[in-house]
Every structure is written in structure tokens, then in C-alpha cells.
């Protein structure tokens, strides 16, 4: 049985609502931990493995996947402001590319998307396909999850991917970079086609969970309360490879249009190559939160206090990640001159401490804002 009461759901939804509206006056802290051995009463595990990138495929019915999800969630303790959820990012980052005709390949244990056929940008066209096998599978899982849990588990959105990232799937390697110079009008056309389909798929999946949902969520554990309008964490990893002028010409307006469609919008700022674009992003009024990820080979996140402070001082929310409470203490010390701003942070900690140490950290952090 999943250990999360109706009273906790009510409190959690209110806390996230207050957070987005800057009324909570403390950080959100989300920690999921495996239950201690003497607390784990789940019994025998189901035969179906937990859905992951390595195991995502089409041959099992949705109910089987959800048996595994239910068993997994029943073995967790939800601490601070976290909540039971599934995100369906196991189908890979950028799964909307598969909805639009790309091949999904998880033979390496990770999901990659590739075009079925290489064509120039002038011949690329994107059309709605309600019978796409990956879209139908995710729709089935979300439908069954909504029926089974009736709002007791947040059924989050899959990781659709960024519009330009989806386009780069169909123009891999240097092809999209070259097209920005040689065929800018065709790139703009493709972006509009992809964006329209992106929101059509989003709206249809949102409608599936709307009758029984507490709100909307995603792979970043960001809860947007209420069933009447969605929220999402957007991204453009392709932006790492271009300068500020191209970012302004080809990406900024598209992101602004994304943010205008939903409320409580976040942006996944991935890699040091995206930092030159940060000021432009922070000027967008409908952007509410930035998730900064330094990227492979860069210094760890808890050493980037100046970037975090820059985001907070711009009046945006911030999502902070760490593997344990010690790392998080280090990060918070980097921005300690702006601790009042840190009330606008969503803090995620993934393991590394026992339950008592984790709870002590949560109590201490909450106490700073009482």
C-alpha cells in the first residue's frame, strides 16, 4: 500500500500552490527514500520489472507496468514536500520525436531517437498520428493509472523534449546547424509544425488525467496544482551549440510561446554552454522557475552558487539537486547571503543519508523560515 494520506495530499497541493504564488515563505524540500527493512510490508515483487529506459517496450499491457509501479511506490517513504508520482520519462527524453515518426531505440539500455529516413529540411513535414504505437502505449498507461489510483498517485507527463531538440532528431549531427544558415525559413516552418503537434499531444494526454488528478507534474517532480491548466518543464538542449544571436532568432520566441500556453513554467538549463542565454531567459515574464544542471564534465551543482543567486535575484524560482544533505548544505552556504531568496527554491535530495539525518535537515531548513 502506498503510504500517503488524503490529508498529506491536501497539504502538499497547498504548499506547491503557495510556492508558485510566492506565499509559502520557505523552500520546498522533496526527498524519497526506501523504507527501512522493518517498515517494508510489500511482500513478493510482481514478475514485471520496473519500467525503465532499458525495459520500455510495447508487448506488456499497461496494468502489468502499473503493478510494478505500485510495488515500487509502496516501498518508499515520502519526506518533506514530495509525493507519490510516476513521470513516464522512462520512454526517453524527447519521446515526442517518436510520436512524430522517429525510431525509438533502447538496445543500449538507454533510449535514443533516430530518423527512419534521412531527408533534407525542405522535405521534412510533421503530421498528427493518433495511432502512433508509442503515443498509444503512453496513453494506455496514463489512462489505466488514472483509473487505478484516482488521484492518489500523480500521473506525470512524459518527457516530450524541446521543440528544437525534436527537430535535431530528424536533422542529426551538424545538419540542423547548417540548416540554420542555409534554410532559416524552413527551420522556422518545422519549428511551428512541431510546436503545434507538441501541444496537441500534451493537451490530449492532459485530458486523460484531468478527471482524477491533483494537478500536473513531470520528470522534475514539479507539481502544478489544479486540473484546469497544465504546467511543464521545457528545455532546448540544442541551444548549447549556438550563440546568443541564434538563440534569440530561432529559440527565444518559441519558448515564450510555450510558456504562454501553460502556467507555472520551468526551464531545464542544461550545461555551461547554455549560460550565455540565461539573461534572455530570465527576462521572459512567463518563465517561473529555472533548473540548472551543469552537465557532464563540469563542476558539481553545489559549487555554482553564483548562477543560483543570479536566478533568484531575477525573481525566478529555482530547483536545486543534490545527492545528500551535506552537498545541499554546501550549496545553500554558497547563496547564504540571499537566504531570504532561497525560500523560492525547490530542493530535491536523492539518497545518501538515513531517515533520521534527512528529517533533521528538513526540520532545520524549515526552521530558518519560521
Residue in 174, 204, 198, 192 with CA at minimum distance from that of residue 124 = 192
In this structure, is residue 209 part of a structural domain?
yes
C-alpha distances out from residue 369 to 26, 28, 30, 253, 269, Å: 6, 12, 17, 37, 28
In this structure, is residue 4 part of a structural domain?
no
CB 302 within 8 A of CB 328: yes
In this structure, is residue 364 part of a structural domain?
no
In this structure, is residue 185 part of a structural domain?
yes
Strand partners, 76: 34
Mean pLDDT of 64-78: 93
Chain-centroid distance of CA 63 in Å reads 24
The total domain count for the chain is 1
**Phi then psi for 118, rounded to 5 degrees?**
-80, 120
Q: What is the pLDDT of residues 180-193, one digit of tens each?
A: 999 999 999 999 99
Which residue, chain included where needed, has cell 513521470?
87
Q: What is the pLDDT of residues 115-162, one digit of tens each?
A: 999 999 999 999 999 999 999 999 999 999 999 999 999 999 999 999
Burial of 173 (0-12, 13-18, 19+ CB in 10 A): exposed
In this structure, is residue 272 part of a structural domain?
no
Residue 207: pLDDT band with limits 50, 70, 90: very high
In this structure, is residue 205 part of a structural domain?
yes
Q: What is the pLDDT of residues 272-312, one digit of tens each?
A: 999 999 999 999 999 999 999 998 888 887 788 889 889 98
What is the value of pTM for the model shown? 0.94
Euclidean distance between CA atoms 78 and 86, whole angstroms: 14
Q: For the CA atoms of 311, 314, 316, 321, what is the dihedral angle to 10 degrees?
A: 10
Q: What is the pLDDT of residues 153-179, one digit of tens each?
A: 999 999 999 999 999 999 998 999 999
CB 34 within 8 A of CB 75: yes
In this structure, is residue 196 part of a structural domain?
yes
The CATH code of the domain that includes 139 is 3.20.20.210
Q: Which domain covers residue 104, as residue numbers? A: 44-74+83-220
Mean pLDDT of 28-54: 85
In this structure, is residue 114 part of a structural domain?
yes
Amino acid at each position: 500500500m502506498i503510504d500517503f494520506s488524503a490529508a498529506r495530499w491536501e497539504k502538499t497541493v497547498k504548499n506547491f500552490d503557495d510556492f508558485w504564488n510566492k506565499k509559502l515563505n520557505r523552500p520546498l524540500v522533496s526527498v524519497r527514500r526506501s523504507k527501512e527493512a522493518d517498515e517494508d510490508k510489500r511482500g513478493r515483487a510482481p514478475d514485471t520489472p520496473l519500467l525503465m529506459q532499458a525495459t520500455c517496450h510495447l508487448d506488456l499491457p499497461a496494468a502489468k507496468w502499473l503493478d510494478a509501479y505500485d510495488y515500487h511506490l509502496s516501498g518508499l517513504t515520502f519526506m518533506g514536500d514530495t509525493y507519490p508520482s510516476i513521470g513516464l520519462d522512462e520512454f526517453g527524453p524527447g519521446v515526442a520525436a517518436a510520436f512524430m515518426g522517429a525510431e525509438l531505440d533502447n538496445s543500449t539500455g538507454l533510449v535514443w531517437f533516430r530518423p527512419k529516413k534521412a531527408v533534407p529540411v525542405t522535405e521534412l513535414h510533421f503530421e498528427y498520428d493518433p495511432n502512433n504505437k508509442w503515443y498509444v502505449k503512453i496513453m494506455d498507461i496514463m489512462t489505466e493509472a488514472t483509473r487505478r489510483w484516482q488521484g492518489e498517485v500523480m500521473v506525470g507527463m512524459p518527457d516530450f523534449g524541446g521543440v528544437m531538440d525534436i527537430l535535431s532528431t530528424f536533422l542529426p549531427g551538424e545538419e540542423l546547424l547548417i540548416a540554420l544558415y542555409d534554410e532559416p525559413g524552413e527551420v522556422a516552418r518545422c519549428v511551428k509544425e512541431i510546436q503545434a503537434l507538441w501541444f496537441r499531444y500534451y493537451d490530449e494526454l492532459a485530458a486523460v488525467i484531468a478527471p482524477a488528478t491533483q494537478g500536473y507534474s513531470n520528470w522534475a517532480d514539479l507539481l502544478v496544482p489544479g486540473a484546469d491548466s497544465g504546467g511543464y518543464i521545457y528545455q532546448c538542449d540544442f541551444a548549447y551549440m549556438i550563440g546568443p544571436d541564434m538563440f534569440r532568432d530561432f529559440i527565444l520566441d518559441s519558448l515564450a510561446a510555450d510558456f504562454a500556453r501553460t502556467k507555472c513554467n520551468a526551464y531545464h538549463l542544461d550545461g555551461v554552454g547554455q549560460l550565455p542565454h540565461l539573461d534572455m531567459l530570465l527576462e521572459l515574464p512567463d518563465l517561473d522557475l529555472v533548473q540548472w544542471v551543469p552537465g557532464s564534465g563540469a563542476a558539481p551543482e553545489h559549487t555554482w552558487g553564483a548562477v543560483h543567486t543570479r536566478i533568484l535575484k531575477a525573481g525566478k524560482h529555482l530547483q536545486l539537486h543534490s545527492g545528500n544533505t551535506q552537498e545541499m548544505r554546501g550549496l545553500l552556504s554558497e547563496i547564504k547571503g540571499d537566504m531570504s531568496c532561497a525560500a523560492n527554491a525547490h530542493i530535491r535530495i536523492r539518497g545518501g543519508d538515513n531517515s533520521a539525518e534527512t528529517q533533521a535537515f528538513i526540520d532545520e531548513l524549515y526552521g530558518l523560515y519560521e
